[in-house]
Amino acid sequence: MKQTQTLYPVVFVGAGPGDPELITVKGRNALEDADFVVYAGSLVPEALLKWTQPSCRKLSSASMHLDEIISAIDTAHRDGLKVVRLHTGDPSLYGAVFEQMTALQEKGIPYRVIPGVTAAFAAAAALGIEYTLPQVSQTLILTRMAGRTPVPERENLAALAAHRTSMAVYLSVHLVEQMADTLMQSYGASAPCVVVYRVSHPEERIVWTTIDRLVKTVEEENITRQALVIVGEVLRAGRSMSPQPSKLYDKHFSHGFRK
């Protein structure tokens, strides 16, 4: 009797923001078990690949288009290899994973996803802030500006900034002049903001500034890519270390676990 070859689902893994130790345990386990890893080489540090076995084949997708990526995954999958598609941060955010999932589905290739730590949360940890302070902000917006890739008109930066929530702007530092002009209209010229460059990488830089100095700050620091811009009133509270106390730990506030 001919033995049927075992075919494993392709595993999309969020690599986290850069620090190899910020990958999830489940993500690390997937890498350790992988026979073939296709990683986003333009963003995922090769240090993440230390979790793979020496026999694992590694392929950077930095110069590849979608068809080439899917073809490589398809071939490895049908050869019975355990395939990991390694993305930076969390795959659900600006990862262009849905088109890959769709292509795999069309080929009848199963897949699953392991989430990762996105840069905005690594930035909050590095800054020592909380995005959702009681009576300051209870909403966090993760967004990007329209560039070569458009955004829906209803989600333009001005419309989102009008809410004056905590906000992390991805993939847009090269549009810093337009960004600063837009943010200033809602948050004010003197509002604090932070530029976080390559958070959790060895070359991480955190630069506090104000919106009216944002353009000059980015120019002086020569930051042109791979940076978040964070704004919101929580930054002012974070620097002054004067938060509004939560109800959760208020001794006068009862809940199901505390009378």
Tokens coding 235: 């930054």
* All domains of the chain in start order, with CATH: 10-114 (3.40.1010.10), 119-240 (3.30.950.10)
pLDDT at 165: 97
Please state whether beta strands 83-87 and 10-14 pair in parallel, antiparallel, or not at all (unpaired).
parallel
pLDDT at 247: 53
Residue with tokens 């120019």: 219
pLDDT at 42: 87
With contact defined as beta carbons under 8 Å apart, do 20 and 45 qualify?
Answer: yes
DSSP assignment of 157-199, as one string?
HHHHHTT--EEEEES-GGGHHHHHHHHHHHH-TT-EEEEEEST
Over its C-alpha atoms, the chain yields an Rg (Å, rounded) of: 21
pLDDT at 1: 45
Kindly give the parts of the chain with pLDDT less than 50: 1-2
pLDDT at 19: 97
Query: Can you tell me the distance from the alpha carbon of 244 to that of 192, in angstroms, rounded to the nearest whole number?
Result: 18
In this prediction the pTM is 0.88
Sign of the C-alpha dihedral, residues 230, 236, 240, 241? negative
